[in-house]
Amino acid sequence: MSSLSRIHLIASKFLRSSGRFVSAAHYHSKDGAYGHNSSCDSNLLDRNNESSFSKTELDNRIRHSKVVQLVEAYRTHGHKIAHLDPLNLMERKPVPELDLNLYGLQDDLGSNVNTEGVFYGSETQHLKIIDLLQKLEKTYSGNIGAEFQHLQTQEERVWFARLFESKDTIQTSPDEKVDLAKLLLRCQAFDHFIATKFATVKRYGGEGGESMMACFDEIFMGCTKHGIENIVMCMPHRGRLNFMTCLLNFPPVIMFRKMKGMTELPPGAQGIGDVLSHLYTSVDLVYNSKNVHLSLIPNPSHLEANNPVSAGKARSKLQTLQSGHYSTNKDAKPGDKVLCLQVHGDASFTGQGVVAETFCFADAPHFSTGGSIHVVVNNQVGFTTEADRGRSSSYCSDIAKMNGYPVIHVNADCPEDVKRATAIAMEYRAKFQRDIVIDLVCFRRWGHNEIDEPAFTQPIMYKVINSRMSIPDLYAQKVVSAGFCEQKDLTEAVQQFNNYLSEHLNEVPSHENKPFHLQDQWSSLVQAGDNITVWDTGVPVESLKFIGSKEQNGDDWRTEASFAIMLWKEKKNAKTKYICASNKCQTKALGEFYHLMAQMQDDDEKFVSYLRMKQDKFDQLLNLVSEDLTKTATNICKLISPEERLFVKKIHPTLQRGHVDKRLKSLTDGKDIDWATAEALAMGSLLCQGFHVRISGQDVGRGTFSHRHCMLVDQETDQIYIPLNNISESQDAFLEVANSALSEEGVLGFEYGFSIDKPTALVIWEAQFGDFFNAAQTIVDTYVTSGECLVMVLPNGMDGAGPEHSSCRIERFLQLCDSKEDKVDGDNVNVQIVNPTTAAQYFHLLRRQMVRNFQKPLIVAGPKTLLRLPAASSTLAEMAPGTHFQPVLADSSTMVAADVKRLVFCSGKHYYALVAERERLAAKHVAFIRLESLCPFPTTEVQAVLKQYPNVSDFVWSQEEHRNMGAWSFVNPRFKNLVGCELRYAGREVLGAPAVGIGELHKKEIESLMTATFS
C-alpha cells in the first residue's frame, strides 16, 4: 500500500467510526502523554513499604541509638578509608566520624547488641560491638566502598544498605573463577599480541584495567536475569579493542587490516572510515541460553560526547519495542528490556560538561531510559595530569551525586569484588530504574598510548606499576593456588587464543569485509546516489483539511462545531465533513445537527425548519451561524448542559482566537497557510502514513516565538493535550513533544542517537535560537555531519537582535559539507542545507525527509519573522499531489523577463526585504532568484533560471549576513565554475561578530546593503 493510500485509509476508517478515540495525551495528568507513561513511575513506588521499620526494629534502634549512629557513620564515611587503590598510592586520612569515642562506645567493645533493624550483614542477630566494628570495616572499608546516603528517598537508602551489607552472599563459583581468569588472561594476551605484531600502533590497550572485562561480563549476565534484551553501549578508546575481541566476538582480522592501513568498510559502502580505536559493532550475545543484543556505538575522540548519543539510541529502542514509557502495559517500568551502558574515563567524566548535561535529563520526561549503568575506568591520571590536579572533588565520580545517584568504588585488583559491585549495581537499576556509577579504580600500564613515556610526568606511579604483577597474572595465580584449576589449563587457554589471533592475522590479505550498513531497521533504505532526485511530497487537499481540523484540538466539540459551521456557511462539498463531525461529536443533539447539515447541503430553508423544530436545544443557532466565528463557538458551548460537556478543554482565549480559529479558517479557505500550520500538516500526514515524529528542544511545544502550539494546555486543569495524537481511532504512529532541559550538546546528541536507531521516524531538534547550536558544535562535527539522520531547525535572521539570537551561522555548516566547487552535486552530499522562504517549502522538506528511500541530515535555517509574514504563507494547492520542494524559486512578480537587467540571487528571509525595497524604488529592471537549497547546490535549476533572462548584464549575490559569513564564500566559486556566472557581492562588510548590538548601526548596515544591491 502506498503512503498516500494509508492517509486515505485512516481517514475513511475515521469517517466510518462511531466511537471516540481517547489516547493518553495529558502528561500533567495521571494518564501521561505519548512517550511519558506516568504509570511507569508509579510502578517504582515502594508498595511493600520496604523502607519502613517494624515496631521491634524501631524499639531496638532506640535502645542501641549509639550503635545506630556508628553504623550510619560507616555507611556515610566508610568509603573514605576503603582499600580502593591497586597501587596503594591513594592517601587515606583518618575519618573523625568513625572514631568510637564520638559515640561513647570505646569502653563497650565487648557488649552484645541486637542488630535487628540496625545492620543487615550479620548471620546472627546478636553481635559484640567489636565484631560489628570488624564487619562494618570489611563491608564499607574493604575493597569496595559505597556512597549512597545522599540518595533521595529512605526507601533507596535502606534497600541499598540491606543489599550492600549482605554482598558477601554474592559468591563466584569455582567454574566462574576459572572462566574469569581465562577472560582476563585473554584480554592481556590480546595486548601482548598486538605489541608484538604491530609495535608502533596506538592500540590504547586495557593493561591495568583488565577487570573491566569482569564488570562487563557480569552486566551481560545480569541482563538475562532482569529481562534486558537490548544494550546500547558507549565506550572510549581505552581497552575498546580488547573488549570487542574478547567479549563481543568482533573479528580481529578487521582490526588487523585497519592496522595495516586497509579499510574497515565493506565494498560499495560510502564513507572515509575512522581511526582504529573508534571501531564499533552490533552483536547478539548469548548468556544463560538467552540472547542479548548489544550495540556499541561509534565514539569520537571528543571524550564523553557519545554519552547522550547512546542514551538517545536506547530511548529509541524502547519506542521500537513499545516498552518503558512507550508501553500501554500498566505494569511497565521505564527501563524494561533496554539498558544504556556508558563507559567513561576518570578525567573526562569529571571535566566534560556533556556528562552533567546527560545526567540532567536522565530522569526527565521523554528522555528517561530507565537508568544507565556507568562504568568509570579510573586510571588515576588523565593523559599526563594527575587526579588531584584534574578536579576539585575527592572522587572523579562525584558529579553523579548531583542528581542523587549512588556510586560504588571498587579496587580493580580484585576481579571478584568487581563482579560483586556490578551485581549490586544491576540490582539497584532493576529495582529503582535510576542511574548508578561503578568507579573501577585501576591503573594504566603505559602512557596515554603505548608509545608515550609516562615516567616523564608520573615517575613514582610508574615505578610502582613497573614493579608489580599484572591483574590477570595475580588473579590467575590466586585461582591456581586455591586449586580451582591447574596452570596448564590457563596456559592452554591463552595459547588457543593466540592461535585464533594468528589465524585472523593470516586472513588479512584475502579477507573481504561483510556488509554491515543498511541492515535491520535500515534495510528498506539505499545509499544516496550521484544525481539529484525529485520526490512528490504532496498530499490530497481534503486529507490536509481533515488532518488540520484534528490538529486543532480535535477532541473538543467546540472546535468541531466551529469547523462544521464554517463549512455550512461556505456550502462547498461539505457532506463528508459533516458526516465526519457527526460521528465524532460529544453529544447526541449536536450529532443530529451535523447529520442534518450532511443531508441538506445548500437547502437553507430545511436547515431553518429543523432549528425551529428543535427549539429546546437549538433555537438560538439560527442567529449564531451568521455571527463572528469565535462568538459562535462560545455561544454554542452555552447550549450544551454541563453534564454533556465531555472532554472539553479550555484553551487560552488568545490561542483560541489567534491560533485555533485562525488556522481553521485558513484550512477552510485553502490559503494563508502559515509556517506552523504547514509544519503541523507535514507532521500529521506523516503520522497517518505510519511514521513516528519526535520534536525536541527548548520550548518546542509552544515554540520559541509562540507559533507552534502543537501541545495545548487546559487553562483550568493544566493538563497538556497533543491534538495530532488524536487524528484517528486506527492511528498507529504518534507525535512525541519533548520540551527539553536547557542543554544543547546533550540534547542534540540524544536526538542524533534516537534518529540513527529509527530512520523511519522524523526526528527534529530545534534550537531556541539558531546560533545556540554552537554549544553543541562537537555533536555537529563528530556525529551529525558524518551521519545519515536528524533534522536541525535553526531560527535565523538579522533582525536587530544583536550578536546572539541573529545568525544561525550557516557558513559553519557549509564549511562542513562535501559539496564540490567544480562538480555538480548529487543526493549523496553528506548533509543537506536549506534556507526555505515559504511554508509550503518547509512542508515539503519535512515530508521529503521520510518518503524518499535514503536518509541525509537536514539543516534548516528556520524562520523568525517569516513565521507570521503573510507573504511567506502558502496555499493548500502548493502542498497537493504533484508538488515538491523546489531548490530554486524564480521571481514571482509579473515583470517582463526581457526587461530585467540585473539578476539578484539571495537566500532566506532577506528576499522579502529586497522585494519591499524594489517596490519602494520601483526598480522594475531587478529580478530576484531565491536559492532555497544551498547544499546540494542547485546547479541545474540555476542554469534554467538564467535562460529566462537573456538581457541581464549584472549578476549580484545579496545577503544580510556579513561578507565573511553567510553563503557568499560558498556560492561564489560555484556560480563561477558551474554556472559560468561572475557574481558581484552586496551585503554587510566583514565583521568579527555575527551582528551588531546597536540599533543605529543595524539600520545603517541595512541601508548600505540595499544601496549595494540596487545601485
Residue 262 scores a pLDDT above 80: yes
Average pLDDT of the segment spanning 828-840: 97
Distances, alpha carbon 969 to alpha carbons 363, 824, 832, 972, 977, in Å = 44, 17, 17, 6, 13
Residue closest to 956 by CA, chosen among 933, 927, 989, 992: 927
Residue with cell string 571498587: 410
- 729's grid cell: 481511532
pTM of the model: 0.88
Q: What is the pLDDT of residue 330?
A: 82
CA 561 to chain centre: 39
Q: Are strands 338-345 and 407-411 parallel, antiparallel or unpaired?
A: unpaired
Average pLDDT over residues 361-386: 94
Task: Judge whether residue 588 has pLDDT over 50.
Answer: no
Structure confidence at residue 573 (pLDDT): 39
Does 269 share its domain with 134? Answer: no
Q: At how many degrees (to 10) do helices 154-165 and 129-140 cross?
A: 100
Q: Are residues 854 and 933 in the same domain?
A: no
Mean pLDDT of 315-335: 92
What is the pLDDT, as a whole number, of residue 168? 87
pLDDT of amino acid 389: 87
Please report which residue ranges of 107-251 form alpha helices under DSSP H: 129-140, 154-165, 174-197, 212-225, 240-246
Q: What is the DSSP string of 69-88?
A: HHHHHHHHHGGGGS---TTS
| Residues in a beta bridge with 174 | none
Bridge partners of residue 861, in order along the sequence: 794
Q: Are residues 541 and 630 in the same domain?
A: no
For residue 312, give the nearest of 680, 701, 740, 731 by alpha carbon. Answer: 740
Q: What confidence score (pLDDT) does residue 585 get?
A: 40
User: Quick one: how far is CA 291 from the chain centroid?
Assistant: 26
Q: What is the mean pLDDT of residues 400-416?
A: 97
| Residues 865, 925 within the same domain | no
Q: Do 633 and 661 touch, CB atoms closer than 8 A?
A: yes
Radius of gyration of the chain (CA): 33
Residue 531 and residue 826 in contact, taking contact as beta carbons nearer than 8 Å: yes
Q: Examine residue 95 and state whether it is found in any structural domain, yes or no.
A: yes
Task: Clarify whether residues 643 and 734 are in a common domain.
Answer: no
Q: Are residues 80 and 183 in the same domain?
A: no
Residue 589 has pLDDT above 50, yes or no: no
> How is residue 243 written as a grid cell?
573488549
Q: In the predicted model, is pLDDT for residue 627 greater than 70?
A: no
Pairing of strands 712-713, 720-721: antiparallel
Name the percent of the chain lying above pLDDT 70: 86
Residue 687 and residue 587 share a domain:
no
Instruction: Read off the pLDDT of each residue in 41-62 and give the average, rounded to a whole number.
Output: 75
Q: In whole angstroms, give the CA distance from residue 472 to residue 187.
A: 8
pLDDT at 720: 83
| Residue at 988 is within a domain | yes
Rounded distance between C-alpha atoms, residue 893 and residue 999, angstroms? 32
Q: What is the band of 6 on the pLDDT scale with cuts at 50, 70, 90?
A: very low
How confident is the model over 400-417, as a mean pLDDT?
97
User: How confident is the model at residue 326, as a pLDDT?
Assistant: 94
3-state secondary structure 648-716: CCCCCHHHHHHHHHHHHHHHHHCCCECHHHHHHHHHHHHHHCCCEEEEEECCCCCCCCCCCCCCEECCC
Q: State the DSSP code for 33.
A: B
Task: Read off the pLDDT band of 49 (50, 70, 90).
Answer: low
Task: For residues 314-320, give the mean pLDDT.
Answer: 97
Domain boundary among 648, 664, 695: 648
> From residue 649, how far is each of 448, 629, 630, 722, 725 by CA, in Å?
60, 18, 15, 12, 15
Q: Work out the mean pLDDT of the chain and round it to a whole number.
A: 87
What would the pLDDT profile of 554-575 be if each residue is shown by its tens digit?
Answer: 444 334 444 444 444 443 333 3
Residue at 530 is within a domain = no
In this structure, the answer to whether residues 422 and 474 fall within a common structural domain is yes
Phi first, then psi: what are they for 594, rounded to 5°?
A: -65, -40
The total domain count for the chain is: 5
71 within a domain of the structure (yes/no): yes
Task: Write out the residue range of the structural domain in which residue 635 sits.
Answer: 557-648
In a domain, 822, yes or no: no
Residue 848, pLDDT score: 97
862 phi and psi angles, rounded to 5 deg: -80, 170
Domain of 8, CATH number, reads: 3.40.50.12470
What is residue 569's predicted lDDT score, i.e. its pLDDT?
A: 41
Which is higher by pLDDT, 234 or 649? 234
Cell of 826: 548529487
Position 44 scores a pLDDT of 73
With respect to residue 811, please indicate whether it lies within any of the assigned structural domains.
Answer: no
**Using CA atoms, how far apart are residues 321 and 946, in angstroms rounded to an integer?**
52
Q: Is the pLDDT of residue 215 over 90?
A: yes
Share of the chain above pLDDT 90, in %: 75
Pair 228, 369 in one domain: yes
pLDDT at 590 over 90: no
Q: Tens digit of pLDDT for each residue in 670-709?
A: 999 999 999 999 999 999 999 999 999 999 999 999 999 9
Residue 529 falls within a domain, yes or no? Answer: no
Integer CA distances (angstroms), 434 to 369, 403, 764, in order: 9, 10, 27
The domain that contains 990 carries what CATH number? 3.40.50.11610
Residue range 73-102: mean pLDDT, rounded: 95
pLDDT tens figures, 716-755: 878 888 999 988 878 999 999 999 999 999 999 999 999 9
Confidence of residue 23 (pLDDT cuts 50, 70, 90): very low
Question: In whole angstroms, how far apart are CA 577 and each of 387, 549, 869?
Answer: 69, 10, 30
Collapsed DSSP state (helix, strand, coil) of residue 765: strand
Residue-wise pLDDT tens digits, 931-951: 999 999 999 999 999 999 999
- Region class of 638: left (phi > 0), else alpha (psi between -120 and 50), else beta: alpha
What is the reported pLDDT for 776? 95
- Centre a 10 Å sphere on the Cβ of residue 662 and count the other Cβ atoms it contains: 18
The reported pLDDT for the residue numbered 422 is: 98
Average the pLDDT over each of 174-183, 380-389, 423-432, 608-617 and give the range with the smallest value.
608-617
Q: How confident is the model at residue 642 (pLDDT cuts 50, 70, 90)?
A: very low
Residue 778 has a CB neighbour count (10 Å cut-off) of 18
| Helix (H) / strand (E) containing 389 | helix 387-390
- Identify whether residues 567 and 666 lie together within a single domain: no
Q: Which residue has the higher pLDDT, 538 or 636?
A: 538
Domain final residue, candidates 648, 680, 707: 648
**Residue 582's pLDDT band (cuts 50, 70, 90):** very low
In a domain, 47, yes or no: no
Query: Are 754 and 662 contained in the same domain?
Result: yes
Last residue of a domain, one of 152, 187, 202: 152
pLDDT at 13 over 70: no
Residue 845 has pLDDT above 90, yes or no: yes
Local structure of 736: helix, strand or coil: strand
Domain containing 307 — which CATH number?
A: 3.40.50.970
Residues in CB range of 923: below 8 A, 6 or more apart: 917, 1014
Residues 614 and 733 placed together within one structural domain of the fold: no
**Sign of the torsion formed by the C-alpha atoms of 211, 215, 217 and 218:** positive
pLDDT for 46 equals 52
- Predicted confidence at residue 549, as pLDDT, reads 82
Flag whether pLDDT at 623 surpasses 80.
no
Secondary structure, 3-state, 792-836: EEEECCCCCCCCCCCCCCHHHHHHHCCCCCCCCCCCCCCCEEECC
